[in-house]
Amino acid sequence: MKKQLSFIIFIMAISLAITGSSFAEWSVSLKITGQNMGGLFEEEIVVGESGDSKRVIAPPITPKYSASIRIIPENFPESLQTEIYEYNTGMRQWLISVNPHGNLGSPAPRTAILSWNNISFGSGEYELRKGYDGTGEVVIADMKSESQLEITGGNRTFYFTLIQK
């Protein structure tokens, strides 16, 4: 009986270890930094995976800004500052909108820097594509090996899809 109980406890411990190690909670902050022209010029979003999903609605864009970034969620009416998915297998996508210019200064194109901590990503592969449906041109093939992207343009929105494979 004692041997049988020990064996059951051993099997349960292995099951818990395997289940617990299947997913590691992670999140990464993506920051846009534009030119400092007297208004908002830095803004961050957070994406990731956890045991519980989490959405934080983005605050309104300030009246004066030289860069902005938002998460555009599927089937949700407002843009987000944070979108953490609950653990799941398969591919994940986050739609990101970026304005590298804002409403300050001349209309001439300007460059803003999109940056992230490349060691903060979870397991798997992460790429950044142009557009909002995940099929656009690959801009960063491996976000774990890069840590920034220059985005140049006028006061308009550029869309990117961050894909976790």
Task: Output the average pLDDT for the chain.
Answer: 88
Alpha-carbon span 66 to 41, nearest angstrom? 5
Q: What is the mean pLDDT of residues 72-78?
A: 89
pTM equals 0.84
Using pLDDT thresholds of 50, 70 and 90, give the confidence band for residue 131: very high
Partnered with residue 127 across adjacent β-strands are 163
**How confident is the model over 142-158, as pLDDT tens digits?**
999 999 999 999 999 99
What does the pLDDT read at residue 87? 86
Phi-psi group of 147: left, alpha or beta (phi > 0 → left; psi -120 to 50 → alpha; rest → beta): alpha
Torsion on CA atoms 7, 12, 13, 16, rounded to nearest 10:
160
Domain boundaries, given as residue ranges, for the chain: 24-164
| Residue 23 DSSP symbol | -
pLDDT in tens, 87-115: 875 679 999 999 999 999 999 999 999 99
- Tell me the pLDDT tens digit for each residue of 35-49: 999 999 999 999 999
Distance, CA of 121 to CA of 61 (rounded, Å): 27
